[in-house]
Amino acid sequence: MIHLDPSILAADFANLERDIRCVQEVGVEYIHVDVMDGQFVPNISIGLPVVKSLRKHITGVMDVHLMIEEPERFLEDFKEAGADILTVHLEATHHIHRTIQRIHDLGMKAGISINPGTPVSALEAIINDVDLVLIMSVNPGFGGQKFIPYSLEKLRQVKAMLNKARRDILIQVDGGATLDNVQTLIDAGANLIVAGSSVFEGEKTAANAKAFLELFKGCGA
C-alpha cells in the first residue's frame, strides 16, 4: 500500500487549517509536519505551539519530521503536541538507540532519517528498532528543491536491507517528489511519499493530491 504524505511546509502558513482540510477531503491520510531549528538545518519552520494547534485539524496520522539538533530534548513535548510518528535524524543525536527507545516508550511510532550524504549502511544497527526509514532525497531545510537521483539507489538499498531483516515497515522518501518521478520512487521501494510543492499549489491543491492518489491505486494501493 502506497501513501501520500503532503508536507505542509509548502502550504499557505496563514491558512494551514484550510489547506489540511483540502487534502484530507480528497482522501489523504497522512500529514507531514517539518520542524526545523536553524541549527541542524539552515532554516526555521514551526515549533511546538503550532504543531499542537494543527493536531486538532488532522484527522489521520500526524507525521512529524524533526530537523533539530539533539531531538531527545523534546520527545515528551512532541508527544504532548499529538505526534503519531516522530522521525529523528541519525546525524542529529549521539544516542540514536536511546532516542528511538524513548519515542516508543512514549507511545509514538519511531522513524529514522538520513541526509543525502549519509550512507544507508549507517542504518544497519538500528533498522530492527524503527517503524519507518526516511531517505532524504534533497538536503533538508527547504521545500521545492530538485530530487537527488542517487536517492533511488539508497531506496533500493534500504528495501534490500529490510527484506533481509524480514521487516515490512514504512519506507519514506522526502524531497523533490513529483507526479512525474513518483513511480520511480515506488519502484525503488518507497511506500510513504512526502510531497510539498507538488501538492500545495493554491487552487490546484485538491487536484494535485487526487492525481497522486489515483496513480497510487494502480500500484496496488
Q: Give catalytic residue positions.
A: 34, 174
Using the contact rule CB under 6 A, the part of the chain among 72-80, 93-101, 188-196, 212-220 near ligand 5SP is 188-196
Is residue 141 close enough to count as binding ligand 5SP by CB under 6 A? yes
- Binding flags for Fe ion, 120-159, as an x/- string (CB under 5 A): ----------------------------------------
Distance CA 134, CA 155 (A): 9
CB 108 within 8 A of CB 100: no
Q: Residue 187: CB partners within 8 Å, gap ≥ 6? A: none
User: Are the beta carbons of 176 and 10 closer than 8 angstroms?
Assistant: no
C-beta of 113: minimal distance to ligand 5SP in Å?
9
Closest by Cα among 194, 136, 126 to 161: 126
65 counts as binding ligand 5SP under rule CB under 6 A: yes
Cβ(13)–Cβ(196) under 8 Å? no
Residue 98: partners with Cβ closer than 8 Å, 6 or more residues away: 72
Q: How far is the CB of 48 from ligand 5SP (least distance, A)?
A: 17
Which residues, other chains included, contact 57 with Cβ-Cβ below 8 Å and sequence gap of 6+?
Answer: 16, 17, 20, 21
Residue range at the interface with ligand 5SP (CB under 6 A); choices 123-131, 139-147, 153-161, 162-170:
139-147
Looking at beta carbons only, is 117 or 163 nearer to ligand 5SP? 117
CB of 46 to Fe ion, least distance (A): 12
Between 93 and 137, CB nearer to ligand 5SP: 137
Smallest gap from Cβ 65 to ligand 5SP, in A, equals 5
Q: Which member of 129, 197, 215, 221 binds ligand 5SP (CB under 6 A)?
A: 197
By beta-carbon proximity to ligand 5SP, the closer residue of 157 and 181 is 181
Closest separation in Å from C-beta 90 to ligand 5SP: 15
The residue of the chain with the least Cβ separation from ligand 5SP equals 196
32 near ligand 5SP, rule: CB under 6 A: yes
Compute the distance between CA of residue 47 and CA of residue 69 in angstroms, rounded to an integer: 14
Nearest to 33 by CA among 10, 54, 12, 7: 7
d(CA 28, CA 192): 12
